[in-house]
A and B are shown apart, each in its own frame.
Chain A
Amino acid sequence: MSMESTVKAERVVITGATKRYGELAALDNFDLTIEPGSFTVLLGPSGSGKSTLIRSIAGIERLDSGTIYFGDREIAGAGLHTSPEKRDLAMVFQDYALWPHMSAQENVAYALKRRNLDAKESTRRVLEALDRVGLSAKGANYPFQLSGGEQQRVALARAIVGRPSLLLFDEPLSNLDADLRERLRVEIATLTREIGATACYITHDQSEAFALADNIGVLRSGKLQQIARPEEIYRNPANRFVAAFTGTSGSFNGRVDSVREGSATIILGAQKIECRTTNSLTVGDSAEVLIRPSATSLGQSSLNSLSARVLDVAYRGRGYEHVVECEFGVISSVFATQSVARGTLVEIFIDPENCVAFPIES
């Protein structure tokens, strides 16, 4: 059974959003546009303001200043705060937030109350939503009778059953184990796109972000560092923080030897490394080269390769990941189909397209 027709997705436009808790600015003059029907993941460490942002979009938090628009409708602004129940959205919470006195079916049905449907239609939709998340046989169970994964599925069914124009996800997978997380991630991705709602998802897990997103926004200290498609974030991170937070296996410090359009040569001791850059480097600058996990491989001595010693090796199913130490630092996640023993001297090839240099901040 599939969910019925898609909904009218909303564009969400946030301008100058500021929210302070005492001295701490959780959101600092924050701007963001989420395109209608898109799946946007906001990625950031603890304290970056992502929870405050999503709660402000939901209406649970009140902004100190700034505006939020859903389409043409202003829902937060100077002296204006539309209450959560009037925003026509749904949300999946980190701790599931299921109501323990209601069965799974009652939990899901609650979100349909605002639609004023007749009982028959309401029941039909609830059963359909439960079926869609694989829980049609457990509608009568109370939350305490369900596993963590099943509880979050009920929460997901509750979020989609009313076909809201905006779906919010507040780190919904962080309380689940790895296997469940992956399965539920797929369900979230497919279900959300099926109903066609605009989705905003927050997480601190970069692999989750890359797997789910049409667009990723990276947050730090209440400010948006960069928002772009995942490939763009990965290949051309706007700054060192974005690059570091979206996945590196190591970094080296060196000096800029030459700069061309979008790339640079960095001197590391007696060696040189080619890498990408954001054009903010000039010859002679001190620079840090951040290496993506996908940039490294074991190979022969060649251009863009470094000599290293294997410190550790871990079996990963499709091959082996090595941790190696070279003259300039340690690199992890060096992949090879064959295992190399600890202590062995090896050559590490670094793909210039998957490493990026930034000026060293004083």
Chain B
Amino acid sequence: MALDTGQSAHDRVPSSFERSESRQFSQLRQFRKLFSRVRVTPMVVFWTLILFILVIPILLFLTVAFSPRLLGQGPQWFTLSSFTPVFSGAYGKALFNSLMLGIFAGVGATAIALSMAWLVLRTNTPARFLWNSTIFALFLAPSYLIALGWQRLFEQRGVLEIMGLQVEPIRNLLYGPVGICLVLMVKGTPFAYLVIANAMRGLGEEFEQAVRVHGGSRFEAFKVMANLLTPSLFSAMAIVFAEAISDFGVANTLSNVAHFPVATYQLYQGINSIPVNFPVSAATSFALLSLVVIAILAQNRALRGRSFRTLSGRTRPATMTKLSLFGKISTSTYIIGLLVIMLGIPVFGAVSASMLEGLGSLLSNYSINFSNYSRVIHSRFLLNPLIYSTEMSLIAATIAVSLAAIASKVLTATKPSKAKRFVDFFLLAAVALPGIVFAIGYIFTYNLKFINEIGLHLYGTSFLLAIAYSANALPSTSRSLVGNMGQIQESMMDAARVHGSNGARAWIDVTMPLIARPLLIAWLLTFSGTLLELPVSELLYPPGSPPVAVGIEISLAGFDYGGGTAIEILSILWALFVVAVAFFLFNRFAPPGWKRLGNLR
């Protein structure tokens, strides 16, 4: 699929390469002269990488929407005509659908997350202990796997119909905006929960007590609490909105089957048409990106000038509400119900489908066994792709977390600087950048004539895939580390420097241990996310080396539903195994001081 654009990596190597060799040599000499005075420090390396893997590819791609001629994609130096199709016809409809899905998923996920944060952190409901592992599992599972779980259960001749159940009414609901919104809401809930739960943890009981002792009712106290949580509710909605309209996994599975077009799938179709219309793809990407940035900026603006800092050294932890027996039963039922919908059904769908021999075929005899597993163990879509994806994920997670640690340090510097504003803006914009846009940006940039002329023949290589994975994960990884990095008092680094350590040593001795656990968690989330990542894999994998997500897609596209879901289950088990080993090693070998800090509770 990846290279069905009518051009292969090798076709795009300019034939004039040899002829321009001497010219390149002279250019290289000029570059060398120019940069001979630049000292290579870690920060110089950081900024160079940020420019080349994040800023330049995306800016070049987005620029082509306004100036096709500048990048050899049309006759006009400046035009807005690329935007005309974006707001009409199929593109316009897809964009509107994405917008609506984003809004509903944002509001829904925030409401669920708020209720769960309150139940888990402020009550003694017995089922609260099930929640944290569910959250982590949902972080690990890409949206397309959740969607596929539902699909396998409810599709025609799916698992439930084979079991003799009539599920057509539910299928009609699932294969439409309601089902798509449901999956996006499920995928967005962990993000919303983390934001709201962090805010609720910092909200001590003194605010509630202050209302009550000054004559306020229980309801008044609740209103004050809700007001204090406002920033986190806005943030949660903005994040889920951004995740939902950027999503490609559901777009490529459920919404595709349901014939409910969304913007990311429209983009994917655009890039697979011949010839590729890059200006229109860029304009669509620009529109999509603008929606997310507007949402996040609106959130920032709505909160500007209002201080909601509630966490201080004097904050007293809130006491838990003790529920009655009826309260315990009803809240536990609610939590378990949610768990079933969010995780239980997709997992049951995937596991049962993987054990049904003949699923997806026109056979009338189905049997439950492990034949799909024994078959795919030796499949060319599992073992080698899984090894390849594991290698890529190791590299991408390591690069992304290393760069994210530096980026989050720049972002949390107490002194305002241009560097801080620059990183802040680009990471904010890039968090909102859908993976599919990112991948198309890479295809576009690394196929540009002048890029090939300077000797960078990267398209269709594992190298490009690895840096695309890294760059794609960098913004969200950086954002996830900012909170932990911001808690480190600068004086601790100063103390290390003053007492004899150079900058690098101080970083290793002080900063690294202080954020060891958040770094490990960020690394594992990036690793797992990359292992099963779809849009970048789909569009940038080197010929003959499909990552495992592409292996699953190819199997499913060939109606091997049993085999595809078996690969899916084995890949998830592999990711969980790596996570378990990493935590075991950390708990076994990390110094005691490291383990105490940065605990995610």
A94 to B335, CA, bound (A): 47
Interface positions of A (Cβ within 8 A of B):
55, 58-60, 83-85, 87, 89-91, 93-95, 97-103, 106, 110-111, 113-114, 142, 158, 162, 168
Contacting pair B593 A103 (CB below 8 A): yes
Interface positions of B (Cβ within 8 A of A):
489, 491-492, 494-503, 505, 509-510, 513-514, 516, 591, 593-594, 596-597
Question: A101: which B residues are within 8 A, CB to CB?
Answer: 513-514, 516, 591, 593-594, 596-597
Question: A100: which B residues are within 8 A, CB to CB?
Answer: 514, 593, 596-597
Residue contacts A-B, CB under 8 angstroms, 15 given: A55-B494, A58-B494, A58-B498, A60-B494, A97-B495, A99-B492, A99-B514, A99-B593, A101-B513, A110-B500, A110-B501, A113-B500, A114-B501, A162-B500, A168-B498
Q: Which of B498, B505, B596 meets A90, CB within 8 Å?
A: B498
Q: Name the residue of chain B whose CB is nearest to the CB of A101.
A: B593
Contacting pair A59 B498 (CB below 8 A): yes
Contacting pair A93 B495 (CB below 8 A): yes
Contacting pair A158 B497 (CB below 8 A): no
Q: Which of A59, A98, A142 meets B497, CB within 8 Å?
A: A59
> Given A99-B510, A101-B513, does the pair A110, B593 have CB atoms closer than 8 Å?
no
A89 to B495, CA, bound (A): 11
Question: B495: which A residues are within 8 A, CB to CB?
Answer: 91, 93, 97-99, 158
Contacting pair B500 A93 (CB below 8 A): no
B-side interface mostly: helix
Closest CB pairs A-B (n = 9): A101-B593, A114-B500, A97-B495, A97-B491, A84-B497, A111-B499, A101-B513, A91-B498, A93-B491
Contacting pair A142 B500 (CB below 8 A): no
> Given A101-B596, A102-B593, does the pair A95, B491 have CB atoms closer than 8 Å?
yes
Q: Which of A60, A99, A142 meets B498, CB within 8 Å?
A: A60
Question: B497: which A residues are within 8 A, CB to CB?
Answer: 59-60, 83-85
A99 to B515, CA, bound (A): 12
Contacting pair B509 A93 (CB below 8 A): no
Question: B594: which A residues are within 8 A, CB to CB?
Answer: 101
Question: A91: which B residues are within 8 A, CB to CB?
Answer: 494-495, 498-499
> Given A101-B514, A101-B594, does the pair A85, B501 have CB atoms closer than 8 Å?
yes
Contacting pair A85 B498 (CB below 8 A): yes
Q: Name the residue of chain A whose CB is nearest to the CB of B513.
A: A101
Question: B492: which A residues are within 8 A, CB to CB?
Answer: 97-99
Q: Name the residue of chain B whose CB is nearest to the CB of A168.
A: B498
Question: A98: which B residues are within 8 A, CB to CB?
Answer: 492, 495
Question: A87: which B residues are within 8 A, CB to CB?
Answer: 498
A89 to B505, CA, bound (A): 17
Contacting pair B498 A83 (CB below 8 A): no
Question: B510: which A residues are within 8 A, CB to CB?
Answer: 99
> Whole-angstrom distance from the CB of B350 to the nearest CB of chain A?
40
Question: B498: which A residues are within 8 A, CB to CB?
Answer: 58-60, 84-85, 87, 89-91, 168
Q: Name the residue of chain B whose CB is nearest to the CB of A161.
A: B499
A84 to B591, CA, bound (A): 27
Contacting pair A93 B496 (CB below 8 A): no
A55 to B415, CA, bound (A): 15
> Whole-angstrom distance from the CB of B597 to the nearest CB of chain A?
6
A93 to B495, CA, bound (A): 8
A89 to B494, CA, bound (A): 12
Interface centre among B491, B500, B513, B514, by most chain A C-beta atoms within 10 angstroms, is B500
A59 to B493, CA, bound (A): 12
